[in-house]
Amino acid sequence: MNVTELFASNVFNDEVMKNSLPKEVYKSLRKTIDEGEPLDTSIASAVANAMKDWAVKKGATHYTHWFQPLTNLTAEKHDSFIEPSGDRVILQLTGKSLIVGEPDASSFPSGGTRATSAARGYTAWDPTSPAFVKEGTLYIPTVFVSYTGETLDKKAPLLKSMTALDLQAKRLLKLFGVECRKVATTVGPEQEYFLVDREVYDRRKDLILTGRTLFGAHAVRGQELEDHYFGSLKTRISEYMRDLDETLWSYGIFAKTKHNEVAPAQHELAPVFTTTNVAVDDNQLTMELMKKVAKKHGLVCLLHEKPFEGVNGSGKHNNWSLSTDTGLNLLDPGENPENNPRFMLILACVIAAVDTYQGILRASVASAGNDHRLGADEAPPAILSVYLGDQLGALVDSIVMGRQYVPKKAIPGSIGVPESPIFPIDTTDRNRTSPFAFTGNKFEFRMLGSQASVADPNIVLNTIAAQAFSEAVDALEGAKDFGKACKQYTEKLLKDHYRIIFNYNGYGPDWEPEAERRGLLNNKTTADAVPEFFKQENIDVFVKQGVYTEKEVVARAKIQLENYVKTIRIEAKTMAEIVKKDIYPAVVGYTEKVCSAISAKRAVSEKLHCNADMVLAERLSRLSDQLMSATEKLENDLAKVPDPEIEASKEMAHTIVPDMEEVRAYADELETITASSAWPFPTYVDLLYSVR
């Protein structure tokens, strides 16, 4: 296979556009893509026609407006290219059908922004993300808005947040005499996932219905040997990864790194970074294809944040940076950050933004699944903090403390093996425990859950950075001595927001009390985190930056809570059903067997030893009683959960989740004393070691 030929072969990319569009049309479209110029609708027909011709050659018969409603998934409705022409058909894609679509919006979450009777919703072409052909259909990336103009998707606000950031970053750069046409944010999301054998998966109702295991005693062997991380790939896994890479490449997705992760059966895939909205589309497509390709290999790809208790869960690291169209990375400190006022101001703005808006940044990654990860010793805590590394950390410390800064130079290092080359050792080590870590020339936001849409946190990041930039420009524009004013402003930001900087172990036990002392937020559950969006100052930042209206912010937060409540309700119901229909009957059957063994032995002779049987029978029946009462309590509490999202979410977090933990504890203990042959479904060992 020729990778360079395969790459992007399913994408209507720049090269294809250039070759298939009239020169003027191509130029005008490029202007829209590169500089955010409004689309000249008169060129739509020409683009549509070229796109259709290209897609048909690739075997497409249909097209779809592909969009990202307020779920974590994508949505599509397929129309064929067929138009009647006399008694024959022609294949057609009109300019209008390229630009707008009109799916019925009534069944997508809108958080009350739209009455159900007003079902009208529009999808509008997003020319900045390339169209592609998949399984006989031309996919046209679109944004999704309601009849009254409210956005109903994640893409529209993401694009608005990118525009806001572009505008404010350009204003800021102008102060430094840097001119450019565009500042774009770039994102490279590292995606973690689990792979399990399909046959084993098919026998786990909890995995099928909820994406995670609701039961399961810890495997006798988990990740304690630390032998899976970066371990050699099993043949079946490496065949899967190869197939996945090739599939992703054909869609123009820069899949780059792949390796085993910490937990058994856990893996990671990282792409090369790209413009944020393309990265978001690519990640959605990646998640979908990960699942599809797995099927072909008799595997199931689990994207849930916590499929298994007792081993690591899965996250998605959001590497985020800002670059100009001239190729300047604004988060690149250069050799001497201490003499780079532009970098220092931008850094200080980002730090200030993360501190000021820590509540909504945390809330942007809140979900039922992610609640199991954050703060659980494997992922950053639910507290936001910023890690700067040794070099920048020392520089910022010296600015805040008013001390002289002595730069630490990158020293030429060698790994101590005579044959190995000399190379510069990085000035900053990695800190895997920080939720928001500076890593060389980008920030890595590590709080995202593995199945989340990358759009959510980036909408917030872009918006709050834009706000901090605009405040900086407002304060510095027209300053008599710009250099001095800039230095003072940077210092003030760093001093005012110093509390958010934490360069030590975020998993350590001292951090929580220390964070509390600093006044940092620690919203542990989705129910606690999401209401941050209702605070006026947080609503205001979205409104000011033109990303959301107040109504939209509130609606989205409500949908997020509603989603959380629904997820936990499904989990709780699934749990109760599995207890009553599978676990309890199995344990009763096994207890009966143990009791019959006791009677049988007694029938032979009073002298036969029955102690162990008696103890076992007693424990089995006691635990199954406890299991049933805990399940009853769970069901009763669930029936009492009120309707409104905010109250319901609190009830879920603080009553239902603990109830579920109790049910699970009894069931898991029962698993450890019930014969394997009697247990109704595969165990953790079966699942985690299912792929050989």
Query: CA separation (Å) from 548 to 71, 153, 461?
Result: 18, 11, 14
| Binding partner selected for residue 321 from Mg ion, ligand ADP, none, CB under the kind-specific 5 to 8 Å limit | ligand ADP
Could you tell me which of 114, 118, 96 has the C-alpha nearest to residue 153?
Answer: 114
Residue whose CB is less far from ligand ADP, 433 or 690: 433
Residue type (1 letter), 503: N
CA dist., res. 282 & res. 284, Å (int): 5
Q: Tokens for 658, please give them.
A: 């603990």
Q: What DSSP letter does each residue of 228-244 carry, written as one string?
A: STTPPPPHHHHHHHHHH
516 by DSSP, 3-state: which?
helix
- Under 8 Å between Cβ of 104 and 90: no
187 binds ligand ADP (CB under 6 A): yes
Quote the least distance from Cβ 448 to ligand ADP, whole Å: 13
Quote the least distance from Cβ 39 to ligand ADP, whole Å: 27
CA dist., res. 151 & res. 94, Å (int): 25
Residue whose CB is less far from ligand ADP, 254 or 498: 254
Residue from the set 362, 372, 442, 556 that interacts with ligand ADP by CB under 6 A: 442
Residue whose CB is less far from ligand ADP, 304 or 442: 442
Residue with tokens 């859950």: 449
Quote the least distance from Cβ 248 to ligand ADP, whole Å: 13
350 binds ligand ADP (CB under 6 A): no
Quote the least distance from Cβ 110 to ligand ADP, whole Å: 32
| Binding partner selected for residue 621 from Mg ion, ligand ADP, none, CB under the kind-specific 5 to 8 Å limit | none
Residue from the set 130, 271, 375, 680 that interacts with ligand ADP by CB under 6 A: 271
- Under 8 Å between Cβ of 323 and 184: yes
Residues 6 or more apart in contact with residue 114 via CB below 8 angstroms: 105, 121, 146, 147, 148, 150, 152
Please state the φ and ψ torsions of residue 371, each to the nearest 5 degrees: -60, -25
Burial environment of residue 79 by CB neighbours within 10 A (0 to 12, 13 to 18, 19 or more): middle
Looking at 199-207, 265-273, 338-346, 523-531, which segment touches ligand ADP (CB under 6 A)? 265-273
The pattern of x and - marking residues 300 through 329 that bind ligand ADP according to CB under 6 A reads: -------------------xxx-------x
Residue whose CB is less far from ligand ADP, 201 or 273: 273
- State the sign of the Cα–Cα–Cα–Cα dihedral 324, 326, 332, 333: negative
Quote the least distance from Cβ 397 to ligand ADP, whole Å: 24
Could you tell me which of 688, 687, 683 has the C-alpha nearest to residue 201?
Answer: 687
| Binding partner selected for residue 54 from Mg ion, ligand ADP, none, CB under the kind-specific 5 to 8 Å limit | none
Torsion of CA 445, 450, 455, 457, to 10 degrees: -30
The pattern of x and - marking residues 269 through 308 that bind Mg ion according to CB under 5 A reads: ----------------------------------------
Quote the least distance from Cβ 251 to Mg ion, whole Å: 23
Quote the least distance from Cβ 316 to ligand ADP, whole Å: 11
Name residues contacting ligand ADP, limited to 421-440 (CB under 6 A): 439
The one-character DSSP state at 656 is: I
Q: Tokens for 50, please give them.
A: 């070229």
Looking at 33-41, 266-274, 462-470, 506-514, which segment touches ligand ADP (CB under 6 A)? 266-274
CB neighbourhood size of 95 (10 A): 17
Q: Tokens for 337, please give them.
A: 């950050």
Residue whose CB is less far from ligand ADP, 251 or 542: 251
Residue nearest to ligand ADP (CB): 188
Q: Tokens for 286, please give them.
A: 């990646």
Return the CA Rg of the chain: 28
Q: Tokens for 609, please give them.
A: 């030893």
Quote the least distance from Cβ 444 to ligand ADP, whole Å: 7
CA dist., res. 132 & res. 8, Å (int): 9
| Binding partner selected for residue 161 from ligand ADP, Mg ion, none, CB under the kind-specific 5 to 8 Å limit | none
How many Cα atoms are found within 13 Å in the side-chain-facing hemisphere of 141? 22
Residue from the set 188, 252, 359, 380 that interacts with ligand ADP by CB under 6 A: 188
CA dist., res. 210 & res. 336, Å (int): 50
CA dist., res. 560 & res. 554, Å (int): 10
81 by DSSP, 3-state: which?
coil
Quote the least distance from Cβ 358 to ligand ADP, whole Å: 21
Contacts with Mg ion by CB under 5 A: the residue count is 1
The pattern of x and - marking residues 272 through 291 that bind ligand ADP according to CB under 6 A reads: xx------------------
Residue whose CB is less far from ligand ADP, 206 or 281: 281
122 binds ligand ADP (CB under 6 A): no
Looking at 125-133, 183-191, 559-567, 584-592, which segment touches ligand ADP (CB under 6 A)? 183-191
Looking at 62-70, 208-216, 316-324, 599-607, which segment touches Mg ion (CB under 5 A)? 316-324
75 by DSSP, 3-state: which?
strand
Looking at 112-120, 313-321, 606-614, 666-674, which segment touches Mg ion (CB under 5 A)? 313-321
| Binding partner selected for residue 530 from Mg ion, ligand ADP, none, CB under the kind-specific 5 to 8 Å limit | none
Residue ranges that bind Mg ion, judged by CB under 5 A: 317
Residue ranges that bind ligand ADP, judged by CB under 6 A: 186-188, 190, 270-273, 319-321, 329, 439, 441-442
